[in-house]
């Protein structure tokens, strides 16, 4: 099977299929999740806000719009694979880090200045697809899963008390489902003046299916059911997204549930990247 793009290089928006869906769930009246897809630059952003009254929606809304708008705007004039001279980081990674920091500041100052927003914050998970890779930035317990072939893997590790307990061996993964300490995040955007964003870059293969979700999905639906849904429905992403949300609601739907699905249909190496340069060289 051909994993690498052969000859034809697609633009990122032609190489990816994206679906964004969000639902308040079966219990809550407010939807504090926010989602955005920017197919033109290969960007997706999902945030799960927290705070009284509508502050959660405000926080997740600020985070998603700042990151989606700023990153896609910056990428109109610059390439995500350019290396920053100072840090040596790729521009794509820097953009995610800087703009999550920017969103953090915006939420933090709004919370400081307006009493009804005091203490609001949000999780975030953002993915930027470029040059056959995926840069993933996350804060809190919103997740990224990857279906490759038949196997489903969690790409991000939650910033939560429970995840820390799992990693330290205090509690097993199986027992973790019984814990009453779910929903305790150890990091969030907008709570302090600065935020520590975790960013990793992963290689992408043609055929991969990525699922970004809020904890309203993975708290209500077993990984096994997420896997079987993604595998069976990978040919019909809108239906897959609908099915995931429906399963969360059938199981109680106690939280807002958001899913973003991204299917990799072809290669998308960046212009100026090593692969396209090599192919150009062969064409001469």
Partner 1 sequence: MAAKLILSMNGAVVKEYPLNKERMTIGRKAHNDIVIDNLAVSGEHAAVVTIMHDSFLEDLDSTNGLEVNGTPTKKHFLQNNDVIEIGKHKLKYINDQITQTTSADFERTMVMRGPVSQAPQGAMKAGTMKIPASPNQPADGEVVERTGRFDAQATAVPVKAAASAPARPAQGDSGKIAVVQILTGPNAGKELELVKNLTTLGKPGLQVAVITRRPQGFFITHVEGAKFPLVNGQALANQAHQLSDHDVIELAGIKMEFYFKG
Residues in the site for partner 1, rule: CB under 8 A? Answer: 26-29, 48, 50-53, 55-56, 119-121, 123, 140-141, 161, 164-165, 168-171, 175, 178-188, 191-192, 215, 225, 228-229, 231-236, 239, 243, 246-247, 250-255
Considering the complex, what minimum distance in angstroms separates the CB of residue 271 from partner 1?
30
Residue with tokens 């914050």: 121
Considering the complex, what minimum distance in angstroms separates the CB of residue 229 from partner 1?
6
> Based on CB atoms, which residue is closest to partner 1, 131 or 141?
141
Decide if 281 contacts 255 (C-beta within 8 A).
Answer: no
> Based on CB atoms, which residue is closest to partner 1, 10 or 26?
26
- For residue 206 the two structure tokens come to 């043609």
Considering the complex, what minimum distance in angstroms separates the CB of residue 82 from partner 1?
34
Instruction: Give CA–CA dist 93/136, Å, rounded.
Output: 8
- For residue 96 the two structure tokens come to 């995610």
Residue with tokens 């990224």: 144
CA distances, 224 to each of 36, 147, 151, 175, 227 (Å): 26, 12, 10, 16, 5
Instruction: Give CA–CA dist 65/49, Å, rounded.
Output: 13
Instruction: Give CA–CA dist 118/178, Å, rounded.
Output: 31
For the beta carbon of residue 278, count every other beta carbon within 10 angstroms: 11
Considering the complex, what minimum distance in angstroms separates the CB of residue 70 from partner 1?
24
> Based on CB atoms, which residue is closest to partner 1, 34 or 269?
34
Instruction: Give CA–CA dist 69/43, Å, rounded.
Output: 10
Instruction: Give CA–CA dist 88/106, Å, rounded.
Output: 27
> Based on CB atoms, which residue is closest to partner 1, 69 or 186?
186
> Based on CB atoms, which residue is closest to partner 1, 7 or 169?
169
> Based on CB atoms, which residue is closest to partner 1, 134 or 247?
247
3-state secondary structure of 38: strand
Considering the complex, what minimum distance in angstroms separates the CB of residue 34 from partner 1?
14
Considering the complex, what minimum distance in angstroms separates the CB of residue 186 from partner 1?
4
């Amino acid at each position: 099977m051909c994993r690498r793009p052969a000859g034809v290089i697609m633009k990122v928006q032609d190489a990816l299929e994206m679906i964004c869906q969000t639902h308040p769930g079966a219990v809550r009246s407010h939807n504090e999740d926010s989602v955005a897809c920017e197919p033109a630059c290969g960007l997706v952003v999902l945030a799960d806000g927290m705070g009284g009254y509508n502050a959660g929606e405000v926080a997740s809304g600020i985070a998603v719009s700042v990151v989606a708008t700023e990153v896609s705007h910056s990428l109109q004039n610059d390439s995500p694979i350019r290396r920053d001279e100072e840090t040596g980081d790729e521009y794509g990674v820097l953009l995610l880090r800087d703009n999550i920091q920017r969103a953090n500041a915006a939420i933090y100052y709004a919370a400081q200045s307006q009493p009804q927003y005091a203490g609001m914050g949000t999780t975030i998970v953002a993915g930027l697809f470029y040059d056959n890779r995926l840069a993933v930035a996350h804060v809190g317990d919103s997740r990224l899963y990857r279906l490759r072939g038949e196997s489903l893997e969690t790409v991000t590790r939650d910033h939560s008390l429970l995840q820390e307990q799992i990693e330290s061996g205090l509690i097993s993964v199986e027992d973790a489902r019984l814990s009453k300490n779910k929903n305790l995040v150890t990091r969030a955007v907008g709570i302090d003046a600065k935020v520590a964003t975790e960013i990793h870059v992963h290689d992408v293969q043609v055929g991969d299916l990525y699922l970004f979700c809020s904890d309203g999905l993975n708290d209500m639906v077993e990984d096994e059911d997420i896997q079987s849904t993604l595998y069976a429905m990978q040919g019909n992403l809108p239906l897959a997204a609908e099915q995931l949300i429906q399963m969360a609601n059938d199981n109680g739907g106690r939280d807002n549930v958001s899913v973003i699905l991204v299917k990799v249909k072809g290669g998308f190496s960046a212009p100026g990247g090593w692969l396209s340069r090599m192919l150009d060289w062969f064409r001469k």
